[in-house]
Amino acid sequence: MENSKQNTFKIEKTDEQWKQDLSPDQYAVLREAGTERPFSGEYNMHFEEGTYKCGGCGEPLFTSESKFDGHCGWPSFDKEIEEGKIVEKLDKSHGMLRREILCANCGSHLGHVFDDGPTETGLRYCVNSLSLDFEGDSIK
């Protein structure tokens, strides 16, 4: 696990630029590593077909095929859309040891990843809805 805060992200903005581009709630989650209340997010029980993108920069992160009901109150995915779209950082906050996940493109906080997923990957990417935007698949 790398310490991604030392990475240089493709998209770099000042705090003032982020505050202009994001709602106050999005800023608190994406830029200050906040967490939305469980079961309150728009995408927790959202199961339309499409792509979940970073709410900070629009980078594709997850597909609907990797989404499942994790019964945890936040959107859950078992893998990223493509390797390298997400970076991990050790998180020792709140008296816990966790793996924080960040968008590899802009460094925005997404949530955490756990090794208790029910699928073959064994992973559960637990993501804040406020960290995501959704683009539905077009009808062919």
Give 17-34 as a DSSP string.
HHHHHS-HHHHHHHTT--
72 annotated to bind ligand: no
Residues with a known catalytic role: 126
List, in order, residues 6 or more apart from 86 with CB less than 8 Å away. 61, 80, 101, 102, 103, 104, 110, 113, 125
Binding residues for Zn(2+), by number, are 54, 57, 103, 106
